[in-house]
Amino acid sequence: MSPQKKKTLLYKVLKWRYRHISDKTFILILSILVGFTAGLVSLLLKNITHLIQVVLESDIISWQASFYFIIPIIGLLIVYIFTKYIFKRDVKSAIPLILHSLSKKNGVIRPIHGYLPLILAPITVGFGGSVGLLGPAISSGSALSSSFSTLFHVNRKTRVLLIGCASAGAISAVFKSPLAGLVFAVEVFSLDLTLTSLLPLLFASVSSIITSYFFLGDEVLFRFNVLEKFDIYDTPFYIILGIGTAFASIYFTKMYFGILHFFDRFSKKIHRLLIGGLAIGIMLYFIPPLYGEGLGFINGLLHGDHLTAIGKSPFDTMTDNIWIVIALLTGITIFKAVAMTATFAAGGSGGIFIPTMVMGSALGNVVSKVINNLGMGFHVSEANFTLLGMAGLIAGVLHAPLTSIFLIAEITSSYELFVPLMITTAISFIISKNKIEHNIYTRELAKQGHLLTHDKDQTVLTLMNLEDCIETNFITIKPNYTLKQLLSEAVAKSNRNLFPVINESGHLIGMVALDDIRDIMFDITLYHKITVDTLMAQTSVAIIYEHDNAKTVMKKFQDTGAWNLPVIKNGKYFGFISKSKLLTAYRRKLINFTR
């Protein structure tokens, strides 16, 4: 079919839709489609990764055991070749990419971000990269939902909602936890939980989980039933675990940015690849559970089999001693963040959600084992603490306490741990949030002023485009102009009362206000005696085009009391923004946002 016929067919479909299907019904239909797509993407990622791991673990590659540390380097090298020579673009973190598109690009995500993670993430994880697949699943699903939005000409608000549906669908498909997926979309993407948004999110979650059941049956990542109920006397231990997960979350975040900063010292990507790949390989040799996502490690701990969870390592002969086991699990807690970040820094593709769960499960299990082996007569459920540790890390690292609570509750198919979950996650979230205001997803965006929040006022300011507020029809003047030149070449030809003074290089050096020259502008004896440099006023505050946003500009107007502020672009004068135009733009954006 020719492109012209495709456009004609699409036009007929859209025309029929506008006539016969209401907007609300159409959004629900799209949410089902997005949920189904997100479910398929999640399953595809999982199966491709599993296939790669099966091949690597088979007899086809007989040297795996001898050269274990080489495998991650090979995987990262393949990713490097894809990104440099085939796709010719860098790998971007999934959730920050989506958040940036929501705030600055009206939710438009390029199609390449839909299929790029489907190729790069399985290679990274399958070859031992210590990252997760959930982030890439969300990224691919969101990119596809953005493409659907463009295809069917929906507005920005619906586009953002459908991206939230994609994230909810991905989590629902991976964990078979529809409520956790819905809450994640609200917490992380700052969606408003209203009836308008709730139904599409529910439809997307349900369609995604049905897709998962259709292809996988009742297979789940974690199959666990809570056997030991909540005991009020264990509350102090839940508090201890909450404090522990809080400090582990702070460590996780600081280690993440610290290692990335270290790798920034290497200008060549191939150097980052070699150093990161070698570091990951060495860690995998001594701590095998760091290989890939680590879901088998979590399952081993949940079923009380810590030896299977730890796997074969150079310390096998010492695992009869429980304190050696505790030390090994502590090593996993410490080095999971290191291995994950090294994978990203070396150029790998993946997510941080599941690595966070792995680290949390190890920490929770360590705390429970320490309590049970202190010889003081205390006993807590190691499996329950493993789950609580996961929840605490998700709450602390991602700042998503409600997501962690509902996720663990749905994983266990029980709300028996609801009270311990609330205690642990609340403490972890409060301490980590107080210490680190923005999580790994949002830190860089917050620095740039591009972060959307649940605060509608701040969100509207973030969504505003300053480019639309800049006025460039001011007549510029030179400092050596006489009063006569100022009047004849600027005042007489302009309907403005401000005249920016610029030098030969285009830099703003001052301004002349019409009000300041009214008392002399008709005195012809001064026409050739007074020059602009004696009339102009210095500009103490200006808007920097490359750095300022609507929020900072609004504050500058508030602090100075000015009605017009000059805009500097690339160090040179560019135009003006008036307070009235900024407020008008804000009002229009607010109306569109809340409509």
Buried b (16+ CB within 10 A) or exposed e, 444-461: bbeeebbbbeeeeebbbb
Give domain 459-594's CATH superfamily: CBS-domain (3.10.580.10)
267 or 91: which leads in pLDDT: 267
Instruction: Check pLDDT > 80 for residue 453.
Output: no
In angstroms, the CA 359 to CA 363 distance is 6
Q: How confident is the model over 557-571, as pLDDT tens digits?
A: 888 878 888 888 888
Residue 541 DSSP code = -
Which stretch of 235-249, 313-327, 476-490 has the lowest confidence by average pLDDT? 313-327
Contact 135, 92 (CB under 8 A): no
In this prediction, residues 320-348 reach a mean pLDDT of 90
Domain boundaries, the chain: 3-216, 232-456, 459-594
DSSP H or E run through 177: none
CATH topology of domain 232-456: Clc chloride channel (1.10.3080)
* pLDDT confidence of residue 439: 82
Region 30-35: mean pLDDT is 92
Q: Quick one: DSSP state of residue 565?
A: E
Beta bridge partners of residue 544, listed in sequence order? 568
pLDDT bucket at 62, cuts 50 / 70 / 90: very low
Q: Which residues contact 120 (CB under 8 A, 6 or more apart)?
A: 79, 82, 83, 91, 136, 348, 349
Distances (CA, A) of 157 to 20, 127, 191, 212: 22, 39, 10, 28
Name the CA radius of gyration of the chain, rounded: 29
User: What is the CATH architecture of 3-216?
Assistant: Orthogonal Bundle (1.10)
Angle at 368 between CA 365 and CA 373, to 5 degrees: 120
pLDDT above 50 (res 60):
no
What is the distance between the alpha carbons of residues 189 and 537, in angstroms, rounded to a whole number?
45
Instruction: Report the relative pairing of strands 543-544 and 564-569 from DSSP bridges.
Output: parallel
User: What letter does residue 84 receive in the DSSP assignment?
Assistant: I
Quickly count: other Cβ atoms within 10 Å of residue 198's Cβ: 14
Contact 245, 393 (CB under 8 A): yes
Question: Would the pLDDT of 129 be above 80?
Answer: yes
H or E element: which one contains 444?
Answer: helix 443-448
Domains 3-216 and 459-594 share a fold: no
Question: Which pTM does this prediction carry?
Answer: 0.79
Task: Report the percentage of the chain scoring pLDDT > 70.
Answer: 91
CB 165 within 8 A of CB 145: yes
